[in-house]
Structure 1
Amino acid sequence: MGLTGKKLFQYALIFKRPILFALLLLALAVSTELLGPYIAKTMIDQNIEGIEKGWREVPANGPNAVYYDGKWYKRADRIAPGDRPGASASVLQVGRSYYWLSGTLPLDGKREVEGGKLTITAADGQTAEYTVKPLSRSEVYGFYKPEIPRLLMMAGAYFALLALAACFTYGQRLLLQTSANRIVQRMREDVFAHIQRLPVGYFDNLPAGKVVSRVTNDTEAVRELFVAVLANFFAGIIYIAATMGALFLLDTKLALIALPLLPLLVVWIVVYRRFAGKYNTVIRSKLSDINAMINESIQGMPIIQAFRRQKSTAKEFDELNEEFFSYQSKLLSLNSLTSHNLVNVIRNIIFIIVLWMFWGDSLEAVVSVGVLYAFIEYMNRMFQPIVGIVNQLANLETARVSAGRVFELLDQPGTDVTSGTMPRYRGEVAFENVSFAYNNNDYVLRDISFHARQGETVALVGHTGSGKSSVLNLLFRFYDIEEGRITVDGKDIRDIPKQLLRQHMGIVLQDPFLFTGTIASNISLDTPGMTRERIEQALRDVGAYDMFMALPGGLDHPVIEKGSTLSAGQRQLISFARALAHDPAILILDEATASIDTETEAVIQAALDVLKKGRTTFVIAHRLSTIRAADQILVLDRGRIVESGNHDTLMLRGGKYYAMYQLQSGVSPSPSGSGSGSATAPIPVPSTT
């Protein structure tokens, strides 16, 4: 079964009751349907061909009696105990004509009638001659007439069984497919929920388009596995097993002819999976690559068009698409080679073998016409599920590969979401000899130590790649350290569940992310207990209430993906209000005012001073003029803190910070800091991770 098969089976066990009931209905449907050929065989052998079973003279009219030539006759197998049968007679069919023979027919074989004489030639060459009388149509009908009620009754039973089988089949398919959809619904919920638990680092090397492909395309392929593939396989296995049983009950020799089909089908499936599995693995991977490229191209469309990259981007896409097409073509060729046409060839070969074995004068002596008809009917019915199984092999392999990709994602270690709440901590943060590397020993932070007291503003400055954002990533526990220690209020953050730690943290990024919804929902993030008044007050505090109330719909103005219909300043103000509304104890401002124009920045400067009160604020800033009032300024260079202190202290030192400030301002400022302004502190939203 394999690991993937076991996990799929575990998902199926969630809905085992409706699935088992569906399989019961399937077994009933198959059993009911398989009675049809047996009824047809009985109708042929007993009611239609039964006219030749021999007749006996009876003294008077009665049930099943036929009047012929002044006498009453009954079929030998219809004689009742009180009928007192007399002389024997036979009704014989030669070609399309019927004849009356007084007496029985001890020798049978090839029949020929000429001049009222019937000549029988047996298979061993022995011949016999009998005197017969031709029967008219009305006389033949008279001999068939007693069988008509039985024929009608059995025909009615045949159609009743078909109707009953249809009802069972309907119930089975409804239950099985509903259960399949439920299974995939649960799987998608699990995948999406697990994505929320995955560490941020997992997404560093996996494009968003590939993740989306696993949640949508791959789970859809798994849905096909439960809805179509397993339904056909279950039905096929039950149908084939029941049909083989019926064939053995019908005729052992004929059943042995059909028996090699089973190992042939197993070999067929094994060989197909060996090749199809390789193709499907590449196909699903290429499909993910295509989705990732489409996602990347849509997000980067302004850059693509601005730098006239349309042709080169289209060429890259065509190369991916061509490779995807080539493997699809290989799979198509394999499917065509092993399709239902090959099944039909095998079926016809079996029929030829049967005709070759029983062809000739001895056919009727070996098997009856009804048995032969039932065999052909059973074989046709058995090949239907075989065709269904073969046709689903492609979907089976696609689903198997897709399920493996889904379970690969689900097997990634994640962080369980912690329920409950944590009392708001003071926000006193300490880094103690922290070193960190994203990959192996390629350290981005080395021996970082500092202490941020409650209510202080700590600014991190340095060149690109110096490690500023990494410090805050560790504080948020987007990544966990292996060397050193980080504490909040004296407690190691590794001892605090991530969700509870982030409950009292807020962050404002340089490029704020807005969700599809409304302005109000983007501020509250649907946090329980967040009132409308609190949302409005947060907007007033950042000076944006009147701006957003002027929009159509006010705070209920729709926001589409990423807030692309809003200006950069409006998006940032929403991000500030989001952070303020959640009242974090620790506030992270990652270059939060960089994308805001000078006029908008002036509007929120006063709000920032209010926002920082009672909160520990970390500011990443490239414009050094915005962090002059910070309590601590940490200067990072190649992952190390090379200088620390306030603005005046660092300016007096004349070191790296002094050089950076002088480079930005173009003049050497007074170390007194008389021109210092309020430190820029944006308003973050607490992470709900």
Structure 2
Amino acid sequence: MTTEKTPPPHAQAGESPTDNSRRQGKGTFGLLLTYVYRDKPLLIKVLLLLLLATAADVAGPLLAKVFIDDYLLAGHLPVWPVAGLALGYVVTQLAAAWFRYRQTLRFTDMALAAVLDIRKQVFAHVQQLPMAFFDQAMTGQLVSRITNDTEAIKDLYVQFLSVVLTNVVLLMGIITAMALLNVQLMLVALLLIPTVVGVIYLYQKLSGAAVADSRQLRSDINGTLGESISGMAVLQACGLQQGSAERFERLNRRYYRARMRTINIGAALLRPAIDLLSVLVLLGILKVFGWQLVNGVAEVGVLYAFLNFMGRFTEPLAEITQRFNLYQQAMVAGDRVHQLMQQPRQHYGKTGDTIHRGALAFHKVDFGYRPGQPVFEQLSLDIPAGAFIGVVGHTGSGKSTLLNLLLNFYPVDAGNISIDGRPLTGYSQDALRRGIGLIPQEPFILAGSIYDNIDMGRKLPREKIENAARQAHLLETINGLEQGFDTRLGERGSRLSTGQRQQLVIARALAAAPRILLLDEATANVDSETEQVVQRALQALHGKVTLIVVAHRLSTINEADRILVMAHGELVESGSHRQLMTLPEGRYRAMYRLQQQARQVELAEQPDL
């Protein structure tokens, strides 16, 4: 089946990166508020620590002002009051440092717990998405969303929310202390805030699209890398390394340019702009203080405290603006995670009844992967329980689609499918997966042990695992390995041959004792010896479970009760091997004879031993 790749989210429906940036934040704030509300008791502790740290921080310059005006300038330095002020200053600064340390730990704890839960939810959601989603998705992009984008949400907690909240509270404390010292100077200092807000707004407007582009391009890079590495054998065999490298270079270059745009905007508007504005405000404070000093209403200690506060006042604003680069990235990343979480899940029924017999029926089923391009039209089939059914046909005839519909991977457009007289859509996911086993053409092997690959986390009894290996004629091979069932297979089962990997997948399917067993071209890529093993396994299961075998090698299904010949989504022939071979112009007969001729040529070309 041919599939198309979905364009990036911002490219869908004619949407531009700018339009995408306008949508940023809605999903992120939803995620953020969910976890902030969940961690409300911890957040309250963080805020309490923050208030205590701010109070201790602000108290230092106030104590210094008292020392300068009441003791130093007065030329009166009594030991105990001055020592008390010095001790108070040291204690407040140590307390501020300790409270901030505890607050940072609490915030980081919140962030890591949130990311842990978000990743768990996202991966659980992805596992329940319909197969139609994976037909269009790129693996690298999904991995990027589950790892990189969720990590960016952590940065939103630790690097942005923590910094902003800390500095906003600190600013409020500083403004309060300034007001207690001198209201006029405080008003001059406040002029810095609206100008900083304007800088932040301008930064967001200019950098939003560039940040969205950079996140999407990073995801595209991951997708391209995953695709290239998984298909490295094909790339090298066809000499396509140069083309693949050029494609990667184009993506990498576009990512570089997008990142440089955000860096240039940040370099121009964040720290340099804040430093310039703070110098201008400081000049204003000095001018007002000079006027007050001339009029005899100013104190030197107040000026010292204000200069001290201005250094602390400017730094929080600079910290906040510098964190907006991370904020933009986190908003885009959070929005991408939110979009993934909004993808509709695969729906299953509520009936928890197990499949007892395995009788199947298709009643006037219409289905197509895309509108206007039907695969099946008015397809009707009746398959009794325990039957051995072979399905053959040329590429694109609908063989694999038949299995996909039985597994409820796709909903039918019209008609219905039933198992044991009950609608397929009425069975729960657990009932379907326990009752139907699948043996795919390409074996999926974990890097774990043989036991893990047969059990697949189902916690089956060891007797069932061993019995399944015996039914798949793999037990002798396993017992011959040094560690038996505990043998580690390596990535993609590299320690097993192609045929042994297929036998392992057969054992995995049989371990759950399904009532219906589906084989999708299970012998297409194996040698004749392994094909005979598969045939013996099918013969042993014949009559015990319902077998639906899609086969390219017609010899695999010679003993089938009934063979369905598909062509362009239609059932064109049906019958046993002997019955179909009697049809003078039959498709099956032509296919079988063609394969027999090819087999004879292959044997004739083999050298004599």
TM-score (norm 1): 0.81
Equivalent residue in structure 1 for 2:516, among 586, 606, 610: 586
Q: Distance in 2 between matches of 1:213 and 1:361?
A: 59
* Structure 1 contact 477–498 (Cα < 8 Å) conserved: no
Partner of 2:481: 551
Partner of 2:527: 597
Equivalent residue in structure 2 for 1:620, among 550, 571, 582: 550
Partner of 1:499: 430
* Structure 1 contact 457–632 (Cα < 8 Å) conserved: yes
* Structure 1 contact 257–350 (Cα < 8 Å) conserved: yes
* Structure 2 contact 351–427 (Cα < 8 Å) conserved: no
* Structure 1 contact 244–255 (Cα < 8 Å) conserved: yes
More helix by share: 2
Partner of 2:559: 629
Does residue 642 (structure 1) correspond to residue 558 (structure 2)? The answer is no
Does residue 223 (structure 1) correspond to residue 154 (structure 2)? The answer is yes
Task: Give the CA deviation at 1:418.
Answer: 8.6
Q: Partner letter of residue 336 of structure 2?
A: R
Partner of 1:23: 47
Partner of 1:434: 365
Q: Distance in 1 between matches of 2:220 and 2:302?
A: 57
Does residue 611 (structure 1) correspond to residue 530 (structure 2)? The answer is no
Q: Distance in 2 between matches of 1:575 and 1:308?
A: 33
- Per-residue deviation, residues 292-319 of structure 1 (Å, max 9, x unmatched): 0110111011111112222221111111
* Structure 1 contact 580–611 (Cα < 8 Å) conserved: no
Q: Distance in 2 between matches of 1:216 and 1:3?
A: 17
Q: Distance in 2 between matches of 1:462 and 1:238?
A: 71
- Tell me, which stretches of 5 or more residues in structure 1 are unaligned? 52-143, 670-689
Q: Distance in 2 between matches of 1:27 and 1:653?
A: 89
Equivalent residue in structure 2 for 1:48, among 72, 87, 97: 72
Task: Give the CA deviation at 1:417.
Answer: 8.4
Equivalent residue in structure 2 for 1:316, among 227, 247, 251: 247
Between stretches 3-12 and 578-587, larger displacement belongs to 3-12
Partner of 1:482: 413
* Structure 2 contact 355–432 (Cα < 8 Å) conserved: no
Does residue 381 (structure 1) correspond to residue 312 (structure 2)? The answer is yes
Partner of 1:519: 450
Counterparts in 2 of 1:233-382, with a 5 A limit? 233-359=164-290, 362-363=293-294, 365-382=296-313
* Structure 2 contact 397–566 (Cα < 8 Å) conserved: yes
Partner of 1:37: 61
Between stretches 461-470 and 594-603, larger displacement belongs to 594-603
User: 3-state DSSP class of the match of 1:543?
Assistant: coil
Between stretches 195-204 and 8-17, larger displacement belongs to 8-17
* Structure 1 contact 34–243 (Cα < 8 Å) conserved: yes
Change (3 A) 1:195 1:584: same
Partner of 1:148: 79
Between stretches 230-239 and 165-174, larger displacement belongs to 165-174
Change (3 A) 1:155 1:359: same
Q: Distance in 1 between matches of 2:41 and 2:112?
A: 15
- Per-residue deviation, residues 529-586 of structure 1 (Å, max 9, x unmatched): x122221222222222121222231111112232133211111110111122111100
Q: Distance in 1 between matches of 2:433 and 2:178?
A: 69
In our comparison, the structure showing a higher alpha carbon Rg is 1
Q: Distance in 2 between matches of 1:249 and 1:577?
A: 79
Q: Partner letter of residue 307 of structure 2?
A: I
Counterparts in 2 of 1:107-118, with a 5 A limit? none
Q: Partner letter of residue 484 of structure 2?
A: G
Q: Distance in 1 between matches of 2:189 and 2:288?
A: 13
Q: Distance in 2 between matches of 1:431 and 1:32?
A: 75
User: 3-state DSSP class of the match of 2:113?
Assistant: helix
Task: Give the CA deviation at 1:663.
Answer: 2.2
Q: Distance in 2 between matches of 1:539 and 1:361?
A: 93
Q: Distance in 2 between matches of 1:547 and 1:329?
A: 57
Partner of 1:63: none
User: 3-state DSSP class of the match of 1:43?
Assistant: helix
Q: What is the number of residues matched between the two proteins?
A: 574
Q: Distance in 2 between matches of 1:493 and 1:456?
A: 18
Does residue 565 (structure 1) correspond to residue 495 (structure 2)? The answer is yes
Change (3 A) 1:604 1:493: closer
User: 3-state DSSP class of the match of 2:582?
Assistant: helix
Q: Partner letter of residue 665 of structure 1?
A: Q
Task: Give the CA deviation at 1:383.
Answer: 1.5
User: 3-state DSSP class of the match of 1:217?
Assistant: helix
* Structure 2 contact 355–435 (Cα < 8 Å) conserved: yes
Q: Distance in 2 between matches of 1:12 and 1:168?
A: 21
Partner of 2:467: 537
More strand by share: 1
Between stretches 321-330 and 26-35, larger displacement belongs to 26-35
Q: Partner letter of residue 650 of structure 1?
A: L
Equivalent residue in structure 2 for 1:398, among 320, 329, 348: 329
User: 3-state DSSP class of the match of 2:358?
Assistant: coil
State the identity %.
36
Q: Partner letter of residue 516 of structure 2?
A: I
Task: Give the CA deviation at 1:447.
Answer: 1.4
Task: Give the CA deviation at 1:596.
Answer: 1.9
Task: Give the CA deviation at 1:613.
Answer: 3.1
* Structure 2 contact 350–426 (Cα < 8 Å) conserved: no
Does residue 205 (structure 1) correspond to residue 229 (structure 2)? The answer is no
Change (3 A) 1:608 1:397: same
Equivalent residue in structure 2 for 1:12, among 29, 36, 44: 36
- Per-residue deviation, residues 594-626 of structure 1 (Å, max 9, x unmatched): 222112333343232112331111011112222
Give the number of the structure with larger relative contact order, counting CA–CA contacts within 8 Å between residues 6 or more apart. Answer: 2
* Structure 1 contact 11–183 (Cα < 8 Å) conserved: yes
* Structure 1 contact 15–183 (Cα < 8 Å) conserved: no
Does residue 165 (structure 1) correspond to residue 189 (structure 2)? The answer is no
* Structure 2 contact 67–85 (Cα < 8 Å) conserved: yes
Q: Partner letter of residue 27 of structure 1?
A: L
Does residue 182 (structure 1) correspond to residue 206 (structure 2)? The answer is no
Task: Give the CA deviation at 1:14.
Answer: 1.5
* Structure 1 contact 634–643 (Cα < 8 Å) conserved: yes
Please give the root-mean-square deviation of Cα atoms over the aligned residues, in Å: 1.9
Q: Distance in 2 between matches of 1:562 and 1:627?
A: 28
User: 3-state DSSP class of the match of 1:181?
Assistant: helix
